[in-house]
Structure 1
């Protein structure tokens, strides 16, 4: 199934008034999957019950949250990795830096090779 897309007109970044505008592709999301949807699909490939699958997904979410909050990288083999990152203001010296300069923390995701590779062979359809 192809990835559906639309086109939008955008100006040049950093140019007052947008500069020369061009048309670019953006993904036209084709719905979303909930834990219920994932559970039903996983059930087809597994001998586990719906309750077992749901329990594992919820437990995985909890374990990932706890470990990210402790600064750990979560490697899920072929699925990819989740890791924390920070955004902060700068200090003139390392000694002057303290945690009050940290603005925010966020979660980054780096897909595994199989997930990255599937998008290399994707097809596209304009909607």
Structure 2
């Protein structure tokens, strides 16, 4: 298997008419892997039943949600880490700030573990049309 990409042409940001256009590599995803697919794949490497695996995945999702919504970093050893982040607009004084009005985005970020990062670095690349 290879990481697939395609080339797309982009103009220069902020330049009227796009300026000098250049070609850039862009990910070309190849479908998706659902929880059902993951459960079947794990079943091949485990003595656990489909129901047990599915239960663990659902429980993991619940535990991660709870941890992230309580401002915790979730470290999943070799899988990597999930951590909450937010962005807000700048305000002149702290007294003016309200979360509802000034926090614009709350999300979860993922930082892959070393094995995943190494696998991606070593992966072959394949250009698709």
Question: TM-score normalised to the size of structure 1?
Answer: 0.93
Distance 1:104 1:118 in 2: 31
Secondary structure of the corresponding residue to residue 107 of structure 2 = strand
Secondary structure of the corresponding residue to residue 20 of structure 2 = coil
Secondary structure of the corresponding residue to residue 47 of structure 1 = coil
Deviations 1:13-56 (A, max 9, x none): 22221111011111211111000000000011111111000000
Q: Which of structure 1's runs of 4+ aligned residues deviate more than 6 A?
A: none
Between 1:95-104 and 1:19-28, the stretch displaced more is: 95-104
For structure 2, which runs of at least 5 residues remain unmatched after alignment?
none
- Does residue 12 (structure 1) correspond to residue 12 (structure 2)? The answer is yes
Secondary structure of the corresponding residue to residue 94 of structure 2 = coil
Question: TM-score normalised to the size of structure 2?
Answer: 0.92
> How large is the RMSD of aligned CA atoms in angstroms?
1.2
Secondary structure of the corresponding residue to residue 32 of structure 1 = coil
For structure 1, which runs of at least 5 residues remain unmatched after alignment?
none
